[in-house]
Amino acid sequence: MDYGYGNGNNYSTSYGAAGAADGGGFVAGEPQSSQAGGKGGYGKDTVRPLTIKQVLEAQLPHPDADFKVDGESISQITFVGQIRNINVQPSKITYKIDDGTGLIEVMSWTDAEANQDKMDVESESTKPKLIEEAYCRVWGRLKEFNNKRHVGAHIIRPIVDYNEINYHLLEATAVHLFFTRGPPSGAQANGHKPAAANGVQGGATDYGSGVDSALSNCSSLARKVFAALKSTPQSNEGLHVQMIASSMGMPVSEVYKGSEELLSTGLIFTTVDDDTWALMDT
């Protein structure tokens, strides 16, 4: 996955942040610190996906500095969570949001008259609403007042596709690993190597040595089936057992025996059905 942090390309999210961009600066490029005070570098702000735990543990070197997570300055942030409480006041709405890693207050400042008109319209609408126990996504800035942290929300909206929750947590994890451990081992200056079929990125030599080691513990029949799978032209779907048996000149029952051994060692995997297999390193 390329998050655009190391190559200077713009980073845009795929979960509705385009609407947030209209609120100002929700396109991220290479990470960089904004000027002290926050407003000088607003046009170059980045949006960082975080968990609430990361938000609460963000470092603040001194009151006029930017918050930092994983040693990198943060400005705009986004996270998802469940609304535990809503407190409506004339000038603002305060949401207490929990994502399982922590709890934080999110403040959305409003115009009292406009907010009432909006609430009246929403009350007649069938669209999802921001209600207690519902899930939401927040875009905003982390702030601290009287040693207590909160998020000033630019946009807060309900989540309608719950896959977005898992997607966000995976994205926050991937970005955290990028900053703490560097790019994936297979990364190159001009991009990333394609991931292996099992999702592992890395050098072919290292993976090949692992395959050789696993094959050395297999029977001669399993090694023959593996060789047939490796040498026979095929699509991404792999080869059906009948095709393997035909190419080997061997009964289907024997191919099944060898394939069961390869499946158990993780050298092959099923694709479109239980009788079609492909190598894990293709």
The pLDDT tens digits along the chain (282 residues) read 444 444 433 334 444 443 333 333 333 333 333 333 333 443 346 789 999 999 999 888 887 788 889 888 888 899 999 999 999 998 989 999 999 999 999 999 876 555 555 555 555 555 678 899 999 999 999 998 888 899 999 889 999 888 999 999 999 998 888 888 887 765 544 454 444 433 334 333 344 456 777 777 888 888 888 888 888 887 777 888 888 888 888 888 888 888 888 888 778 888 777 888 888 764
Q: In degrees to the nearest 10, what's the CA dihedral of 24, 28, 34, 40?
A: -30
The Cβ of residue 43 has, within 10 Å, a number of other Cβ atoms equal to 10
Q: What is the DSSP letter of 185?
A: T
Write down the pLDDT at residue 84: 94
Write down the pLDDT at residue 200: 38
For 204-279, CATH gives: 1.10.10.10
CA distance 25 to 208: 45
- CATH architecture, range 17-181: Beta Barrel (2.40)
Write down the pLDDT at residue 102: 92
Question: What are the residue ranges spanned by the domains of the chain?
Answer: 17-181, 204-279
Write down the pLDDT at residue 259: 86
β pairing state of 72-73 and 191-192: unpaired
Strand order in the sheet with 276-279: 239-240, 276-279, 268-270
Write down the pLDDT at residue 122: 52
Q: Which two tokens stand for residue 203?
A: 């050098």
Phi, psi angles (nearest 5°) of residue 99: -115, 15
Break the chain down into helix, strand, coil percent, rounded to 5: 30, 25, 40
Write down the pLDDT at residue 9: 37
